[in-house]
Amino acid sequence: MIDVATGSGVAAWVVLLLAVAGAGLGALTGRTLARAGYRIESDEAGAPPRHWWWPAVELALLWALVGWRFGDFAGWAALPPYLLFAWLAVGLVWIDADVHRLPDGLVLPAYPALLVLVVIATAGLGDWSALVRALACLAGMYALYFVLAFVSPSSLGFGDVKLSGLIGLLLGWIGVGQAVVGLLAAFVVGGLIAVVMLVGQRVGLRSHIAFGPSMIAGAFVALVFEYHVLA
């Protein structure tokens, strides 16, 4: 059974403060992304996106969501890794939607950074089984996406595989159920996006659609909803 997650009960002003801070950082991030400095010679893309303001809206919403979900959980130690991932998500969604690539320069450094923050969060929680579960979900999701990319390289790239490990780490720290919801939600969101783009004639049946944004959307869906096994 899937239910709406229980928030941390943090004060509303904390959530609002995080939203404002997210909007400010998102605006700076959007202006940087609008310069398209991430593009490389092999990228095939048209004019770069110029709507620098939407990362501000997105990050404001994501930081508010993360604040509501975690707040002072584990002595506030659980908040930083999810705030960092939310900021990373904004950049990855923009870049993948533009050039269909998830840059190693963003994804790979996130592994040690998020791992350190998750270890700190685990220490604050005082339950080291959460770290073991997180690492197991990292490995499991990475392996699954690796197999899927090997079987269907036209649908998933290796950038998606590398991103899957980060998602597995963060969702697995909360629970295996969250990792399952995030995995399933990614494919549901991806399917819905494909249908909308096909109906709107934005793509054809053989067009490649960036899957990174769907994976990220699925991860945040898993922060809102929880999966419970019924006995």
**pLDDT tens for each residue of 95-114:** 998 998 999 999 999 999 99
What pLDDT is attached to residue 225? 83
What pLDDT is attached to residue 48? 73
Average pLDDT score over residue span 203-210: 63
What pLDDT is attached to residue 230? 52
Contact indicator for 45, 98 with CB cutoff of 8 Å = yes
State the Cα–Cα distance between residues 102 and 60, nearest whole angstrom.
22
Q: Any idea what the Cα angle at residue 111 is, between residues 78 and 214, rounded to 5°?
A: 80
Contact indicator for 173, 225 with CB cutoff of 8 Å = no
Q: Which pair of structure tokens corresponds to residue 31?
A: 């202006």
Handedness of CA 143, 171, 181, 178 (dihedral sign): positive
In this model, does residue 137 exceed pLDDT 80? yes
Residue 189 to residues 38, 118, 161, 212, 216: CA-CA distances in angstroms?
A: 26, 27, 17, 11, 10
Q: Any idea what the Cα angle at residue 182 is, between residues 33 and 94, rounded to 5°?
A: 10
Task: Name the band, by pLDDT with cuts 50, 70 and 90, for residue 5.
Answer: confident
What pLDDT is attached to residue 231? 46
Average pLDDT score over residue span 6-27: 93
In this model, does residue 27 exceed pLDDT 60? yes
Residue, of 228 and 3, whose pLDDT is higher: 3
In the predicted model, what is the mean pLDDT of the chain?
A: 90
What pLDDT is attached to residue 7? 78
What pLDDT is attached to residue 57? 96
Half-sphere exposure of 148 (CA within 13 A, CB side): 18
State the Cα–Cα distance between residues 46 and 63, nearest whole angstrom.
31
Whether the pTM exceeds 0.95: the reply is no
In this model, does residue 147 exceed pLDDT 80? yes
Give the β-pairing of 2-4 and 225-227: antiparallel
